[in-house]
Amino acid sequence: MADEKPKSNLPPLSLHVPEPNFRPGDTVDYSGLEIPAAGAQARPDINTKPKDMRDMVDDMIRVLDDDHAAVGPWDPKLDDETLLKMLRTMVQVRTFDDRLHRQQRQGKTSFYMKCTGEEATSVAAAMALHADDMCFPSYRQQGILFVRGYPLTEMVNQIFSNKADKLKGRQLPIMYSSRELNFFTVSGNLTTQYPQAVGWAMASASKGDSRIAAVWCGEGSTAEGDFHAAMTFAAVYNAPVIMNIVNNQWAISSFSGFAGAERATFAARGAGYGIAALRVDGNDPLAVYAATRWAAERARTNQGPTLIEHFTYRAEAHSTSDDPTAYRSAQEREEWPLGDPINRLNKHLIQRGVWSDEQQEALDAECLEAVKEAVKEAAKNGILGHGLHQPFETMFQDVFEEMPWHLKEQAAQANKEREIKWPS
């Protein structure tokens, strides 16, 4: 009853509110973070039952050791050409991010999101998939488009929402889409892509196709209902899908503890559903590639879905609308013990004797020039506020094959009001 007094012999209940280890101004100490030695993780067969590999959810797959060599059973044994392509693509992504972030600060677009420090989770993963596998990204997987050869100028057109934007200004900047490259439209609504990916994978299996699906979300998004609905369907129907959780430690202003990180790893959520699950060093491109390839082989041979937690760090702000100095220590990025994915692959290639600091400088310069040229070309089609945008009537198009009467009426009314307000 509402007026009933608490029992005097019971302790009062208390609520736990997660609190990050470090706040602005704090000294960062990651000594309590358990990071296993590279190469120490066993690589189970792809037909291993999920219940027999539950120890993987608390381990961490690592390939590159402290001497920058690839070691252990998860070493994917990639050739120099593939590794150099991986390095080049990650550099392209980071250079693009830096340049387009600057365009937002100059007022040429309204919004931008970088994936600095997380490039391996999209680039290395995409390289381990087939080109016709369907990808359902979140908003930090632009690396998939780079791997699959999407033109830089087209990406900038979308960011500028100009007259050449193939999405006709209907999406926020960086929310790309490419049917041709099997890249599902990015959604600003968190984790909607998870049930969509599982549904697509189920459809592929029901048709007897050979293509699989891969989907990404951040660790914070695993608290959404869509995530758990997708996990249930994937487990029940043995869907051929790879479910990636990019655990970059932070949502826009709340740390991973609010999504459950204090209780268990995010990979453990896979084990709870009876799904094969791996936990991977997300800043080790070779480990990401190897884990994705393992999961893809598993899916293609009807062994079921795999959940992969990529343990990484968001080095920059959540977006151009965010200021991380307000809620986390500036030392976190500097002290992050798993390093930087580009630097780690660079040092590995130098260790292999196929790369040098001079070649890296040349690559950086080459990528910067390519991005500058793409921005210059896209700007010819208009930037934010220039007025070189999609025709007014396009906002009523492309929803129905034939425009219904009520949309025709709305379009006519909108045009009438537009002529009154802006007769010129």
Show which residues are catalytic: 314, 318, 327
Calpha distance 85→82 (Å, rounded)? 5
In the structure encoding, which two tokens stand for residue 50, read together?
Answer: 């999920």
Q: How far apart are CA 400 and CA 309, in angstroms?
A: 39
**CB–CB of 221/140 below 8 Å?**
no
**Residue whose C-alpha is closest to residue 129's, from 363, 320, 293, 298:** 293
Residues in the chain: 424
239 within 8 A of 275, measured Cβ to Cβ? no
Q: Give me the amino acid identity at 54.
A: R
Contact residues for 17 (Cβ-Cβ < 8 A; gap 6+): none
Check residue 387 and report its DSSP letter. S
| 228 vs 195: CA distance, rounded Å | 9
Dihedral sign, Cα of residue 156, residue 162, residue 166, residue 171: positive
Tell which residue, 279, 283, 281, has the closest CA to residue 346: 283
Of the candidates 117, 104, 155, which has an alpha carbon nearest to the alpha carbon of residue 377? 155
